[in-house]
């Protein structure tokens, strides 16, 4: 009853009339434009490369920031206040010092940067910071009140992850900005990004403009008090302190040696060329008063392409809550001869125990209908499990990728859960290239190998986990507190919010 009441408490953002801002016209003599032009085989082709390893994914981002000459557009759900966040912010400031226009669009609830730091970044004449669907009460002690009173509106978030350099090269996928997404902390997310160039890039840039100019977005200057230039200077000094030790340790050892660190000056990247579609939910999906609020464009696109599959569907999804309709859809595919395979988190690896509690009841029905399911294994060795309800796993699946008949592949931000489908905005790229699809399928096979994942089976009506060497009859290596947390969450009517 309380959830229904809060969902109905939908408020509106203050009205604002800002001049629109759009992607800059491409300067053909720029370094990035020259790089793309020298490799694109024909005007209709788009090129892609997977960014599987965390250090490679960060190295590619740093290379784009340092190689940009006109513009940098960043759109992220989470931006952490850690060493990776500091490293990216420092490079953005250096780019702005060179005259590059920087537009930074962050989800207000997801990002961890405080208002003062965001205002300091915004103080630079070439940097503008905006927040998606922000809280109207900004003071630290009032934010929790705002989260309750405005629940109906702020329950819809911008889950997109995107970086665009000079309107020509983009990176999208599962990774946010934070140490755990790049294998640079004790918490290590198994994630996947894709970097793209070519004909699809203007579509990607237009989607960023669509969000940037949306009435769901407010400039940081309308939300936080304007700070002086001394705050920007203090931020620069803080970033130097944060990144100096980082440079000496993990950065030099794990990122600088990446082939992506200087790929704009080398032939290190081998691009896969083909046709592609950029697919994204409109920002109005996050507006409870807008007619587009109930239009999940990304989810519908995945359903359409899965429906067209006649041989195989591979799904990598960090959070998997199919719901009754989704379960029936997957079972129909399996009944029609499609080999449906899903990789998701185990109870031991999930970073949101509540999600696992809503996913678990669907496993027996899916397995009985012919769907194959794997769950990620936790790392070897002892694990800490002291916060059963909300703790982060030391290793967790965070990737979101879907392969259709090994001919088409979608990589983006969407999970197969109610929150991604109905509540949050999502985005991603669908590539029509069998080689890239095959490469992603091989990654699926690697991640579902005996050393990496458990395969679930039904034996005499009971659920079992096996890895080729051993079989478990209950959630492997989950620990008592996690099991208790999952059991307690199962009693709560919160599936539609997960």
Whether 398 sits among the annotated catalytic residues: the reply is: yes
How many whole angstroms separate alpha carbon 423 and alpha carbon 291?
A: 14
- Evaluated on CA atoms 444, 447, 449, 455, the torsion sign reads negative
Element (DSSP H or E) covering residue 60: helix 54-67
3 state SS of 475: coil
Contact assessment for residue 353 and residue 448, using Cβ atoms and an 8 Å cutoff = no
Tell me which residue of 210, 206, 20 sits closest to 132, measured CA to CA.
Answer: 210
Whether 166 sits among the annotated catalytic residues: the reply is: yes
Whether 124 sits among the annotated catalytic residues: the reply is: no
**How many CB atoms neighbour CB 14 within 10 A?**
9
Tell me which residue of 179, 188, 187 sits closest to 87, measured CA to CA.
Answer: 179
- List C-alpha distances in Å: 7 to 10, 254, 293, 447: 7, 45, 14, 38
Catalytic residue among 159, 216, 285, 377: 159
Catalytic residue among 385, 398, 417, 433: 398
DSSP secondary structure letter of residue 422: I
Catalytic residue among 122, 400, 417, 433: 400
Catalytic residue among 73, 166, 193, 417: 166
Whether 161 sits among the annotated catalytic residues: the reply is: yes
Longest dimension (CA), the chain: 69
Query: Cα–chain-centroid distance for residue 49?
Result: 17
Catalytic residue among 161, 272, 285, 356: 161
Could you tell me where the DSSP H helices lie in 247-372? 297-308, 323-335, 353-359, 363-368
**How many CB atoms neighbour CB 356 within 10 A?**
28
Catalytic residue among 73, 107, 281, 405: 405
Dihedral pair phi/psi, residue 186, rounded to 5°: -65, -35
**How many CB atoms neighbour CB 34 within 10 A?**
14
> No. of H helices and E strands in the chain?
16, 20
Whether 159 sits among the annotated catalytic residues: the reply is: yes
How many whole angstroms separate alpha carbon 268 and alpha carbon 257?
A: 12
Contact assessment for residue 136 and residue 14, using Cβ atoms and an 8 Å cutoff = yes
Residues carrying an active site annotation: 159, 161, 166, 398, 400, 405
């Amino acid at each position: 009853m309380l959830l229904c009441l809060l969902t109905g408490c939908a408020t509106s953002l203050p009205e604002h009339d800002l001049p629109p801002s759009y992607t800059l016209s491409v300067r053909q003599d720029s370094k990035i434009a020259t790089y793309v032009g020298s490799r694109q085989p024909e005007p209709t082709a788009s090129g892609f490369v997977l960014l599987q390893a965390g250090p490679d994914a960060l190295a590619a981002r740093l290379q784009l920031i340092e190689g940009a000459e006109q513009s940098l557009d960043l759109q992220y759900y989470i931006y952490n206040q850690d060493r990776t966040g500091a490293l990216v912010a420092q490079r953005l400031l250096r780019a702005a010092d060179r005259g590059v226009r920087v537009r930074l669009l962050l989800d207000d609830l997801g990002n961890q940067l405080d208002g003062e730091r965001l205002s300091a970044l915004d103080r630079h004449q070439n940097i503008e910071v905006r927040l998606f669907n922000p809280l109207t009460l900004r003071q630290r002690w009032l934010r929790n009140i705002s989260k309750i009173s405005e629940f109906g509106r702020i329950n819809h978030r911008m889950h997109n992850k995107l970086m665009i350099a000079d309107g020509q090269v983009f990176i999208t996928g599962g990774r946010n900005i934070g140490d755990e997404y790049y294998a640079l902390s004790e918490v290590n997310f198994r994630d996947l990004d894709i970097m793209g160039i070519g004909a699809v890039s203007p579509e990607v840039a237009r989607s960023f403009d669509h969000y940037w100019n949306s009435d769901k977005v407010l400039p940081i200057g309308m939300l936080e008090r304007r700070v002086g230039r001394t705050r920007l200077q203090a931020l620069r000094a803080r970033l130097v302190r944060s990144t100096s030790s980082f440079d000496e340790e993990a950065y030099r050892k794990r990122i600088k040696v990446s082939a992506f660190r200087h790929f704009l000056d080398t032939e290190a990247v081998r691009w896969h060329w083909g046709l592609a579609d950029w697919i994204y939910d409109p920002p109005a999906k996050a507006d409870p008063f807008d007619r587009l609020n109930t239009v999940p464009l990304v989810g519908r696109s995945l359903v359409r392409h899965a429906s067209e599959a006649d041989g195989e569907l591979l799904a990598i999804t960090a959070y998997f809550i199919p719901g009754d309709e989704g379960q029936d859809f997957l079972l129909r595919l399996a009944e029609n001869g499609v080999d449906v395979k899903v990789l998701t988190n185990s109870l031991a690896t999930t970073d949101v125990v509540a999600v696992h509690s809503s996913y678990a009841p669907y496993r027996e029905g899916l397995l009985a209908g012919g769907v194959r399911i794997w769950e990620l294994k936790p790392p070897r060795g002892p694990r800490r499990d002291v916060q059963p309800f909300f703790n982060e796993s030391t290793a967790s699946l965070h990737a979101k990728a879907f392969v259709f008949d090994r001919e088409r592949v979608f990589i983006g931000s969407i999970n197969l859960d109610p929150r991604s489908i109905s509540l949050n905005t999502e985005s991603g790229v669908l590539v029509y290239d069998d080689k890239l699809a095959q490469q992603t399928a091989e990654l699926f096979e690697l991640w579902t190998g005996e050393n990496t994942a458990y395969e679930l089976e039904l034996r005499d009506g009971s659920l079992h986990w096996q890895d080729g060497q051993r079989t478990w009859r209950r959630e492997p290596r989950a620990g008592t507190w996690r099991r208790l947390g999952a059991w307690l969450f199962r009693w709560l009517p919160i599936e539609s919010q997960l």
